[in-house]
Amino acid sequence: MFDRLQAVEDRYEKLNELLSDPDIVNDPKKLREYSKEQADIQETVQVYREYKEIQKQLEDAKSLLNDKLDAEMKEMVKEEISELEGKITEYEERLKVLLVPKDPNDDKNVIVEIRGAAGGDEAALFAGDLYRMYTRYAESQGWKVDVIEANTTGIGGYKEIIFIVNGKGAFSRLKFENGAHRVQRVPETESGGRIHTSTATVAVLPEAEEVEVDINEKDIRVDTFASSGPGGQSVNTTMSAVRLTHIPTGIVVSCQDEKSQIKNKEKAMKVLRARIYDKFQQEAQAEYDANRKSAVGTGDRSERIRTYNFPQNRVTDHRIGLTIQKLDQILQGKLDEIIDALILEDQSKKLESVNE
C-alpha cells in the first residue's frame, strides 16, 4: 500500500512540474487533463503527507522513552504514543479508501432516461413519480434539471422522459439508479381495490464531452419535424424538433423541448454523445468481468433493483437487502439514506478487491 502511496505522491510532484511547463500551459487539452488528474489525487497526497508527519511524531515520542525521564514525564509520553498510534490506525483506514480506484465519471453531469415498462398506464404514472422524485433530489443537492424529451400520456404519466441533471458529482450519486424499478399499489384506475405490480426502467448515463467521443458529422443523419404534444396537436408550426441518427451504431435521439431548432440539436447531441460513450463503456465492461464483480449494480438495466410498496409505505433495494419504511419521504426526493448505503457497499466490495 505504501509503495502505491509513494508513487501517487511522486506523480503529484511530476504534475506540478508539468503544469508549470509553458508548452503544457499553451495546450488546453493537456492542461485540462493534467489539472484534472492532479485534482483527483490531491486529497490522497494530502492525507498521506499528514500520515507521514504523524508517523515521524510517533517515532520521536518512542525515542524519548529511551531518555532518562521522571515517572510523570514518562507517563505523559506513553499517553502521547497511545494517541498517535490511534491516529495512525485511523489514517491507514482513510488511505485504503482513497486508494480505491475512482470512477472517472463520478464528477460528471448525468443524462437520465425513464421509461414506463410493464403495466400500461400505471407504469407510465410510476415513471412520472420517479421523474419527480429525482427532480426533487436534484433540487436538494443544488443541481439543475433540464428536460430533453418527454412523451406524456393523457393522465399525467410518461411513456418516456429524458433529462439532464447538471451538477458536480451528479453521476457519483445517481449511477446506482440504473435498472428496473417495481411499484406495488392500487392504481387510481382500479375500482376493485386490487394491488397491481408495474415497472419502469431507469438508465443513468454520464454526460460525455466532445474530446471523449469522436463523432464524425458524416455519420449523423439529421431530420427535422414540427414538434407535437399529447394527443398529437401541433405545439410548434415551425420545423424546430430534431431527430439525430448515428448510422454506425443505429442510435436515435429526438429533442423537441425547445422552440429553437439549434437548441434542440445541441441537446440531442448531448444525449447522442452520452449513449455512444455508454455503449463503448458497456462493451469494455463486458470484456472485463472483474468490473461487474466489484459493482453494486450499475450495468444491467434489466436487473430489478428496487421495489416501492405503497400499502406498507416500504422501499426495498434488492441489491443490498435494504428496506426502509419511508416510501412517502423517498418519493419526495429524500434519497440520501439509500444512496449512501449503496456507495458504502460499493466501496466495501472495491476495498476487498484492493486487499486481495
pLDDT per residue as tens, the chain (356 positions): 788 888 888 998 999 889 988 988 888 888 888 888 888 888 889 999 999 999 999 998 888 877 777 888 888 888 889 999 999 989 988 888 777 777 778 888 899 999 888 878 889 999 999 999 999 999 999 999 988 888 888 777 898 899 999 998 899 999 999 899 999 988 876 666 788 888 999 989 888 775 566 677 888 888 888 766 544 444 545 677 888 888 888 888 888 877 788 888 888 888 888 888 888 777 766 654 444 444 444 444 456 899 999 999 999 999 999 999 999 999 999 999 999 999 888 888 777 765 55
User: Which of 44, 73, 98 is a domain's end point?
Assistant: 98
Q: Is residue 291 part of a domain?
A: no
Residue 301: which of 161, 102, 117, 173 has the closest Cα? 117
Residues 184, 203: Cα–Cα separation, whole Å: 21
Residue 356: what pLDDT? 52
- Count of structural domains, the chain: 3
SS3 222: strand
Contact present, 177 and 97 (Cβ < 8 Å): no
Contact present, 124 and 158 (Cβ < 8 Å): yes
**Around Cβ 233, how many Cβ atoms within 10 Å?**
7
User: Which of 98, 125, 156 is a domain's end point?
Assistant: 98
Residues 78 and 19 occupy one common structural domain: yes
Residues 341 and 237 occupy one common structural domain: no
Q: Which helix (H) or strand (E) holds 239?
A: none
Amino acid, res. 71:
A
Residue 175: which of 32, 286, 281, 273 has the closest Cα? 281
Contact present, 249 and 220 (Cβ < 8 Å): no
Domain that holds residue 30: 2-98
Residue 233: what pLDDT? 44
Give pTM, 2 decimals.
Answer: 0.67
Amino acid, res. 327:
L
Residue 73: what pLDDT? 84
Query: In this predicted model, what pLDDT tens digit does every residue of 173-184 receive, in sequence order?
Result: 999 998 999 999
Report residue 33 as a C-alpha cell: 487533463
Question: For the domain that residue 205 is a member of, what is the CATH number?
Answer: 3.30.70.1660
Strand ranges of the sheet holding 220-225, from the earlier edge strand across to the other edge: 220-225, 241-246, 251-255
For 23-168, list the strands marked E by DSSP. 110-116, 144-152, 158-166
Question: For the domain that residue 223 is a member of, what is the CATH number?
Answer: 3.30.160.20
Residue 256: what pLDDT? 81
SS3 326: coil
Residues 81 and 222 occupy one common structural domain: no
Residues 75 and 6 occupy one common structural domain: yes
Q: Is residue 292 part of a domain?
A: no
User: Which of 78, 98, 118 is a domain's end point?
Assistant: 98
